Structures are given as C-alpha cells and as structure tokens.
Structure 1
Amino acid sequence: MKPREALRLALRDFYANSFRLVLVNAALGAILVASVLAALAFPLAAALVLASGPVTAALVHCAVTLVRTGNLALADAWTGLRIHWRRGLELAAAGAALVGLGIVAYRFYGASSLWPLAFLTVYVLVLLGIYELVLWTLAIAEPERGLRGAARAAAVLVASRPGATLLLGLALLLVNVAGIAAAVMPFLTLTVAYTFLATAHFVLPPPSTEETA
C-alpha cells in the first residue's frame, strides 16, 4: 500500500474508533509523562519508561486488529496487553537502548571537532525510529514469529520499499512533532495511535472480504 493511502485509511479508522484508541493512547501517554517526571527527579527512574512497552504493545495490537477485521473493542486492548506484554518489554528495552546510545553519541560529537557527525546521528536515529515502527507492527501482528525473525522481516520490508517507508516515516514524524508542539496533549492522546494505525495499513496485507465481514 502506498503511504498516502495508508495515512488516509488510518485517519478514517481513527475517526470511527477514536474513543477506544484515545483511551489506550492516553494510558500510554500517562506512563510516558510519569516516566519523564520521575527521571527528572531521579535519573535512574528513567528505567520506568520500560513500563510503556506493554501498553504500546496493546496499542499496536488494537491497530493490527482494526486493520485486519475492521472492528475494535476495548477488550482488544486488554487482550493485546495480556498476550504481548513480554514482547512489549523487550521492544521497549531495545528502543530505549538505541535512543540512549543516540543521545550519548549526539552529545559527544556535538561537543567535539567532529560536530557534523551529530547531525548524522540524528539522521540515523530517525531511520531507526522508522524501522522500529515496522518492527513493532510485525512483532505484534505475528506473535508466533520470534523477535529475531520479526526483526529480519522488518529489515527486508524496509529494504524492499525504502522510498515509500521513508516517506511514511517522515510524514508520521511530522504528525507527532505537530502533536507535541500543540501543547503536547494531542501527542499523548491521539498521534501515537494514528501512527501505529498508518503503519499497520502500510505493512500488513489488505484484509479479504471474509475477514472484514
């Protein structure tokens, strides 16, 4: 599916299921805010961000379910949390490690004579973030596949459609940046759910008529 079509279908699905998706997105946002506030007071508390992993997995499960079936209930969020909480922790840990290394690299290069590499670090982090979106979607959509298998499948998909994947990722980055700029609340309640919906539409094959009936 083309990025524009994925974005359009995600907007349609989000509008039709906004109440359910906003609740799950808001739960994720609350955890992220609590983690940031705790980390500001006690740096070691930054590890609390891992608690966002299971809730993110539940949100991705909702997006996958909606794309595959055309229907969504609040119970689907609980189902996703119950089934995917461990995988969510693993993915959150991997993502946090990458971001942490990226921040360290950015500060190091930014304060040295190699400062142009700081911009390269930001570019690499953006690319890894786009890859992470695909990885989360495939890892939750196909729980029977090991995490390494999901990582390989995500790499293959990104490599096979680099331009379209980059275009979708940059569009979703702008959506989330706009959500943060607009007093943060849209990001905490809307844009993350929309992001995973658009990614699911882009990554997953279109459902058959029987599946959506």
Structure 2
Amino acid sequence: MTLRRALGVAASDLYHQAWRLIALNVILGGVVIAVVFATMAVRSAILLAVLIGPVLAAVMHCVVTLTQTEELRLVELLNGLRRHWRHGIAFGAALAIAVGVGAVVVPFYARAGTWAWPLAALSLYLLLMFGVFQLALWPLAVFEADRPLRVVARDAALTVARRPLGFLGLGFALLLVNAVGVAAAILPFLTLTISYSFLVSAHFALPKNPAREV
C-alpha cells in the first residue's frame, strides 16, 4: 500500500471507529502520563517505562485487527495485552534504552566541541533510523505474533529496506500529524493522533489486505 493510500484508509478507519480509538488513546496516554509523573516523583520509577510496552502492543493489536477486519471491539485490548505482553516488554525495554542512550550521547557529543559534531550527527541519525524501524516492527510483531522475535525483527528490517524512502516519508508525515495534535490539545492523549499514527503504520507496513484495496 502506498503512503498516500495508507493515510487515506487510516483516516477512514479513524472516522468510523472514532469513539473506540479515543478510548484507546486515553488509556495509552494515561499510562504514559502516570509513568512520567511517577518518574518525576521518584527517579527510580523510570523503570516503569517498560510497562508502556505491553500497552503499546495491546493498542497495536487493536489497530491491526481493525486494519485486517474493518471491525474493532474494545475487548480486543485485553486480548492483545494477554497475547503480546512479552513482546511488549521486550520492545518497550529496547525502545526505552535506545531513547535513554540517545538522550545522553547526542547532547554529550554536541557539547564536546566541533571535532565531535560528526559523532553527534551520526548518533542522531542512528536514533532516527531506529525510530523509523519501529514503524514496521510493532505492526509486524502483532501480525506475526507466533514467530520468534528475531524473525520478526529481520522481517521488519527487510520491510524498511525495501521501501526506505516510503518509511522516511511515513516518519515525517506522522511527526507532522502528532505536532499538530500536540498544538491542538492541552494533553496529547486527548487527541486522536496516536491511534491515527498506529493505523497508518499498520496499513503501510503490513501485507496488502485485498478487501481494503478495492
């Protein structure tokens, strides 16, 4: 599916399942905000960030179900949590580590002097590419739930490698969408941009569903 088509079909899904996707957005946003406030109160609570992973996986399960069947029930959130919590913890931990390391390494090299600026640029590039990789990894991890993690990660890497410009465009488009969402709401989880981002990623990364190509 092309990026333009994925954006359009995701918008249609968003329109027809708005209240359910709002509920998913609020749940995910609530978990994220709770972890942030806990971390501000107790520094060691940053370890709770790993718990965001299973919730992300459960929401992605709902989104993948919607993209494949055109139907969504909120009970799928519990089904997704029960089925994908292990993958969610693993991917959530990897994501938290990558973001944490990037938040330290990039500013360190940027302040170290002109000699280190290429290293800062390289670190930022690798961090951004890791983010683009996530756009394929999470949908495929749900879609290929019965396959080993290393196989899913390989498939995600191959998916991105086949359409590098497409995934870069996807990342840029979702960055704009969420920037608008943050600007339009006091708290981002009150918008629908998170669920919409998941929908676009799933439509773009997963194999074509013939019923959605008509």
Could you say which TM-score interval applies, normalised by the shorter chain?
over 0.9
The equivalent residue for 1:198 is 200
Kindly provide the CA deviation profile for residues 42-92 of structure 1, in whole angstroms up to 9, marking residues without a partner as x: 221111111111111111001110111111111111111111111111110
Conserved? CA contact 1:28–1:188, under 8 Å: no
TM-superposed deviation, 1:183: 3.6
Partner of 2:106: 106
TM-score normalised to structure 2 length: 0.92
**Partner secondary structure for residue 50 of structure 2:** helix
CA RMSD of aligned residues (A): 1.8
Rounded Cα–Cα distance in structure 1 between residues aligned with 2:121 and 2:90: 28
Letter paired with 1:145: R
Structure 2 residue aligned with 1:177: 179
Residue 8 (structure 1) aligns with: 8
Q: Which amino acid aligns with 2:75?
A: A
Moved over 4 A (4+): none
Give the letter for the 1:97 counterpart.
I
3-state DSSP class of the match of 2:36? helix
Q: 2:181 touches 2:191 (CA, 8 Å); kept in 1?
A: no
CA distance in 2, matches of 1:188, 1:53: 20
Q: Which runs of 5+ in 1 are unaligned?
A: none
Q: SS of the residue aligned with 2:152?
A: helix
CA distance in 1 between partners of 2:39 and 2:11 (Å): 34
Change (3 A) 1:72 1:84: same
Provide Cα deviations, 1:155-190, integer angstroms capped at 9, x if missing partner. 001001111111111101121222223345344541
* CA shift for structure 1 position 205: 2.1
How many residues matched? 211
Any idea what SS the aligned residue of 2:56 has?
Answer: helix
Moved more, 75-84 or 181-190: 181-190
Instruction: Could you tell me which runs of 5 or more consecutive residues in structure 2 were left unpaired when the two chains were aligned.
Output: none
| Letter aligned with residue 48 of structure 2 | L
Match in the other structure for 1:132: 134
Q: TM-score, normalised by structure 1?
A: 0.92
- Structure 2 CA distance for partners of 1:184 and 1:174, relative to 1, 3 Å: farther
- Distance change (3 Å), C-alpha of 1:188 and 1:140: farther
